């Protein structure tokens, strides 16, 4: 086991998601606002290219069969590059 990576027992991951749903009066349209906080103990900066965050938005309506309407793949190295 690599010494610069946290052991499985020492790892820490937490995702906090807040979802706000709104119905617009008159138009009958709905809006969802999602705010997400992600906390994780990942190890050294050099290993950040091993991690990515995947978010999928699916439509489960009767006319579709688990239709993915949005898919986001965020590599954590992007945030390290922005920081430096």
Render pLDDT for 7-42 as a digit per residue (tens, 0 to 9). Answer: 555 566 788 889 899 998 888 898 989 897 877 776
CB-based contact 34:18 (threshold 8 Å): yes
Q: Domain for residue 3, yes or no?
A: no
Residue with the bigger pLDDT between 12 and 61: it is: 61
1, part of any domain? no
The answer to whether residue 15 sits within a structural domain is: yes
Confidence at 71, pLDDT banded by 50, 70, 90: very high
Q: What is the pLDDT of residue 39?
A: 78
Mean pLDDT of the region 68-78: 86
Environment class of residue 64 by beta-carbon count within 10 Å: exposed (0-12), middle (13-18) or buried (19+)? Answer: exposed
* Domain region containing 42: 8-83
Number of structural domains (the chain) is 1
d(CA 57, CA 34): 11
């Amino acid at each position: 086991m690599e010494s610069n990576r946290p052991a499985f027992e020492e790892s820490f991951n937490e995702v906090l998601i807040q979802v706000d749903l709104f119905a617009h009066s008159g138009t009958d349209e709905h809006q969802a606002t999602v705010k997400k906080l992600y906390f994780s103990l990942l190890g050294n900066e050099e290993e950040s290219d091993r991690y990515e965050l995947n978010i999928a938005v699916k439509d489960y309506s009767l006319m579709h069969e688990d239709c993915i309407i949005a898919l986001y793949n965020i590599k954590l190295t992007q945030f390290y590059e922005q920081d430096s």
